[in-house]
Amino acid sequence: MIREMTNNNKGLILLGVALFTQAMTSLIGGAVFYNPFVADGNIAATMSNMAGNAGSIHAGVILQIATSLVIIVLGVSLYRATAHINKTAAGAALGFYIFEALLHSVGQICVFCLAEASRLYAASGDAALVDIGSTLLTAREFAGGMAMIPFGLGAIIFYFLLMKAKIIPKWLAIWGLVTVPFVLVGVPLGVFGVSVPFALFVPYVPWEFFTGVYILAKGLRK
């Protein structure tokens, strides 16, 4: 019994750490090492920015690849924590998380290739590279946007199971269940040019940080 309780506590700690880490690395990788160098509607300026900040772009790619790995760790942790409630649903949700991680990684490959094309463009001024850069940027945005579909589907399943397993309180689960569909639908729509107010995504943003800390504290407290 003591060993089982210890394993459960370790599982909660790992789950809390993975949830918080995934949110943090994704935020830093995008807000610090990618977004500042993207000039909306101006691919030439974007490529010039990336060529002059290749080290930051590469650091961001590494951080985002790490995020993909943490997403898989998170999915496995969530599966282990909730499979006793519904093994089939938890398995499906884990599959969605793995698919999200793969799409996320594909997007980062596009960013790395875009950085290389930007370096060549800065060195040669070849206008043909601008078209290549535009295609790579579009591919990155598409992969990132589409990754929100398996993420949202998996999250809805896992958040419901977390509530059923009483790992998080009902109000916290409802917060996630109500806000994550806006990400699931809104981000992919944005990829196809549909204007979606950013304010719709804001309520979900702190959920992963808050829930990660909550679960971690619960595991440590036990």
Domain boundaries of the chain, sorted by first residue = 2-221
Mean pLDDT of the chain: 94
- Closest residue by Cα to residue 71 from 108, 110, 105: 105
- Rounded to whole angstroms, the Cα distance separating 89 from 47 reads 43
Tell me the angle at which helices 205-221 and 170-191 cross, rounded to the nearest 10 degrees: 150
DSSP 70-124: HHHHHHHHHHHHHTTT-HHHHHHHHHHHHHHHHHHHHHHHHHHHHHHHHHHHHHH
User: Is the model's pLDDT at 74 over the cut of 50?
Assistant: yes
Which pLDDT band holds residue 65 (cuts at 50, 70, 90)? very high
Q: Which residue has the tokens 């990336």?
A: 50
Instruction: Using pLDDT thresholds of 50, 70 and 90, give the confidence band for residue 222.
Output: low
pLDDT at residue number 7:
60
List pLDDT tens digits, range 103-148. Answer: 999 999 999 999 999 999 999 999 999 999 999 999 999 999 999 9
Q: What is the pTM of this model?
A: 0.93
- Supply 6's token pair: 């210890």
Reply yes or no on whether the pLDDT at 192 is more than 50.
Answer: yes
